[in-house]
Amino acid sequence: MDTLETIKRSEIIAIARGIKSEDLIPASLALYRAGIRAFEVTFEQDKPLVRTTESIVALIGSMPGDAVIGAGTVMTTDQVRAAFQAGARFIISPNTERSVIEETKRLGMASIPGAMTPTEIAAAYSYGADIVKVFPAGFLGAEYFKAIKAPLSHIPMAAVAGVTPDNIADFKKAGACAFGISSGVYLKDAVINHDLEAITSAAEEFYARIR
């Protein structure tokens, strides 16, 4: 199964932001048990690239083979290349940057840039995006998502940021092909305390609302 197919079948992309490897791996395995197969490790713009790339390498080495690991908050071509060298299979950004999209595709990874307006979404897709991340989805709302999806039905779109168990079904009905979720699945206290049952249950709750 290729990267995009895995993401779409997983539906949920678990977003790990600033989590230490020793906590990230057991938490991610707990999410895997709930059915999540796509995992994003984010870059921190004020931190060395190696902090993220080491986490990507560690996660790839610890997850079952049908899981796909990518990099998030990717804003430069240097970050794209660093993620690729670490083994990332997809690149997610908060914005639409043509050079980032084109470098991602040149290296054979899936591209998921962020956009908000119809103009940005169409531009991102024209630059080569595989899926466009509508961001921040929770703030914009499912009705907004539905409204922009109508004339842009040919563009696969993911709902990211502010997706909760209460609104995820609305975003799916509005046409979202995937959902990026961070603290809703990587529960802060549960991650730190290795409360793996709570983490698995959190992901199962999201799936229960959309299946």
> What are the percentages of helix, strand and coil residues in the chain, rounded to 5?
50, 15, 35
- In the block, residue with structure tokens 């990267």: 3
Cα Dmax for the chain: 46
Whole-model pTM: value is 0.97
Tell me the mean pLDDT in the region 153-168: 98
Tokens standing for residue 127: 């630059």
Give 106-129 pLDDT, tens digit per residue: 999 999 999 999 999 999 999 999
| Residue 47 clears pLDDT 90, i.e. is over it | no
CA 197, distance to chain mean position in Å, is: 22
Ordered domains of the chain (ranges, CATH): 3-210 (3.20.20.70)
pLDDT at position 46: 87
Please calculate the CA angle 202-195-55 and round it to the nearest 5 degrees. Answer: 85
CA dist 162 and 183 (Å) reads 10
Mean pLDDT of 150-155: 98
Instruction: For residue 136, say if its preceding peptide bond is cis, omega within 30 degrees of 0.
Output: yes
Catalytically active residues are 40, 133
CA distance 19 to 117: 31
- What pLDDT shows up at residue 144? 98
Q: What tokens appear for 3 in the block? A: 């990267």
Q: What integer is the mean pLDDT of 89-111?
A: 98
| pLDDT bracket for residue 1 (50, 70, 90) | low
Mean pLDDT of 24-45: 97
Q: Residue range 42-61: average pLDDT? A: 94
Question: Cβ distance 53 to 86 under 8 Å?
Answer: yes
Predicted confidence band at 10 (pLDDT cuts at 50, 70, 90)?
very high
Per-residue confidence (pLDDT) for residue 8, from 0 to 100: 96
pLDDT grade for 100, boundaries at 50, 70 and 90: very high
Report residue 41's pLDDT band, with 50, 70 and 90 as the boundaries: very high
Q: What angle do CA 80, 76, 171 make, to 5 degrees?
A: 80
Average pLDDT along the chain: 97
CA 7 to centroid of chain Cα atoms: 9
Q: Residues 195, 27: contact at Cβ < 8 Å? A: no
Give the mean pLDDT of 149-177.
98
What pLDDT is stored for residue 211 in this prediction? 85
pLDDT digits over 58-84, tens only? 999 999 999 999 999 999 999 999 999
